[in-house]
């Protein structure tokens, strides 16, 4: 009765494959950028000299380089320690991840504060304007000058109120509102959102309409327009070629003619 040949271990198979390719341990370790003692530990199956969890990844790396198919020796490969194949912790990567998460948290908090805290122009309620209508053609109304332009991220110098491109119109809302601008060029509609300024240039004359005017600060040609509306009220204003708000003329009410009974009484009194 003949004895069965002894099956070589996985380390011996890796050494035989390396020799068959004419590679020395030093040259193979240099190509893999692997310490020589780790390569020797793999070929001698001295797994105690290899960091825990790196036995199988390093063995697979060496096998791929020397051309040994591990699928043909699956049983030997699965018998190796380090089945989880976890990568060793990288302190530098963990520190970068913590720094990145901290930066994201600070940025999110800053955006939240910017959205919840309104600007100076949104904290005070706009007072209503008192207008005295006069008979005749509608006079041009000069709006009250604003304290300053709204701060916009990235803007350094203020823009000219009127240029060859048109009149500057700036809208900023503290709630949702639908804005419509009608001019000779057509109709432009925009949905205003909280703390999102909308700036356009329109060639006059034009008409500006707001369906929720009480939540919108309006600025035309660098001047604040005080429409005097509250939340939920709509407003529409017409502007001339120079960006001035034009008020409609007041209707003239004529005195009614005396009624017939009053005329008869006056006739009797004269007799």
Q: Which residue has the higher pLDDT, 146 or 199?
A: 199
pLDDT of residue 150: 46
For the whole model, what pTM was predicted?
0.36
For 183, the domain range is 137-150+160-246
Residue 261 — pLDDT band, cuts 50, 70, 90?
low
Does pLDDT of 24 surpass 90?
Answer: yes
Same domain, 141 and 241: yes
Q: Give the chain's domain count.
A: 2
User: CB of 169 within 8 A of CB of 200?
Assistant: yes
DSSP string across 132-163: ---SSSPPEE-PPPPSSPPP-TT--SPPPSEE
Q: Show which of 34, 53, 78 is a domain's final residue.
A: 78
Distance, in Å, from the CA atom of 177 to the CA atom of 136, rounded to the nearest integer, reads: 35
pLDDT tens digits for range 70-127: 999 898 998 888 764 455 556 777 788 888 898 999 999 888 898 887 655 555 555 5
Bridge partners for 179 per DSSP: 190, 210
Closest CA relative to residue 50, chosen from 92, 93, 10, 88: 88
pLDDT tens track for 135-160: 555 555 555 444 444 444 444 445 78
CATH number of the domain where residue 28 is located:
1.10.260
Residues 142 and 45 in one domain: no
Q: How much is the mean pLDDT over the chain? A: 77
Name the residue among 176, 203, 202 with its Cα closest to residue 190.
Answer: 176
């Amino acid at each position: 009765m003949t004895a069965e040949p002894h099956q070589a271990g996985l380390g011996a198979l890796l050494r035989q494959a390396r020799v068959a390719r004419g590679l020395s341990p030093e040259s193979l370790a240099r190509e893999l950028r692997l310490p020589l003692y780790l390569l020797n530990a793999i070929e001698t199956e001295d797994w105690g000299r290899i960091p825990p969890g790196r036995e199988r990844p390093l063995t697979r790396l060496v096998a791929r380089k020397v051309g040994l198919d591990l699928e043909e020796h699956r049983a030997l490969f699965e018998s190796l320690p380090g089945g989880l194949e976890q990568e060793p912790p990288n302190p530098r990567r963990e520190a970068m991840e913590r720094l990145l998460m901290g930066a994201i948290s600070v940025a999110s908090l800053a955006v939240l504060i910017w959205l919840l805290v309104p600007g100076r122009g949104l904290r005070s309620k706009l007072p209503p304007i008192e207008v005295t209508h006069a008979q005749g053609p509608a006079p041009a109304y000069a709006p009250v000058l604003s304290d300053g332009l709204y701060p916009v991220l990235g803007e350094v110098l203020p823009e000219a109120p009127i240029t060859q491109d048109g009149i500057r119109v700036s809208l900023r809302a503290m709630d949702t509102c639908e804005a419509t601008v009608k001019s000779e060029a057509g109709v432009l509609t925009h949905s205003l959102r909280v703390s999102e300024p909308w700036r356009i240039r329109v060639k006059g004359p034009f008409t500006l309409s707001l369906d929720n005017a009480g939540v919108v600060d309006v600025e035309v040609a660098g001047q604040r327009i005080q429409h005097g509306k509250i939340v939920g009220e709509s407003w529409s204003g017409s502007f001339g070629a120079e960006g001035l708000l034009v008020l409609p003329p007041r209707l003239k009410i004529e005195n009614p003619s005396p009624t017939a009974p009053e005329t008869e009484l006056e006739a009797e009194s004269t007799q």
